[in-house]
Copies of this chain bind each other. A is one copy, B any other.
């Protein structure tokens, strides 16, 4: 066993209570009990500590839930950042791939584990600040794709960020959790393509 970093006493068996461990336990409790019934007492119990100890790392229950929300949103952003980075690829293909990846990611999350998806949708509703940041992040990625398309002479846009926001808003039906019921209906894929076709036509130089 290697001693972990610079700890005064090495406290071997009962791992130190870190913010990270609390967040993991909170995700687990949310998965098990859902957002309405998940209490910080549950989280403390899952960790084998008193609930007072949790309050040492997170000032309030709301702050704890917000931190969980941020982690989750960041994981989504990271997955898409890879497509933005594919510098060599045709801008239109990159745009389509990015939009499809976003749609697919959401669709699979909603379809594979509906309860967990509902849980995170509830959390997102409680933390509009975290969501706004996430949305800025995503539109920033889109703007990056638009900008490179303009530079390559493939797209026209007076202001890539405004254009990116327009594309994002126009595809809301295919990524906004509020529409998740529609994602399982037969024709959605075609609807998605019809919208993306219209948008890419509108973007072309």
Contacts and interface: CB of A to CB of B under 8 A. Distances in A.
A158 to B, nearest CB: 10
Interface of A: prevailing SS: helix
Tier of interface size on chain A: 20 to 34
A171 interface: yes
A84 to B, nearest CB: 20
Q: Taking the full assembly, how many copies of this chain does it contain?
A: 2
A143 B87 CA distance: 39
Contact of A169 (B166, B191, B200): B191
A79 interface: no
A198 B172 CA distance: 15
Contacts of A165: 191, 194
A119 interface: no
Nearest to A128: B181
Nearest to A196: B166
A78 to B, nearest CB: 26
Contact of A203 (B190, B195, B198): B198
A3 interface: no
Nearest to A203: B198
A27 B125 CA distance: 31
Contacts of A171: 170
Contacts of A37: none
Nearest to A201: B202
Contacts of A170: 170-171, 173, 195, 198-199
A167 interface: yes
Interface in A145-204: 162-163, 165-167, 169-173, 178, 190-191, 194-195, 197-203
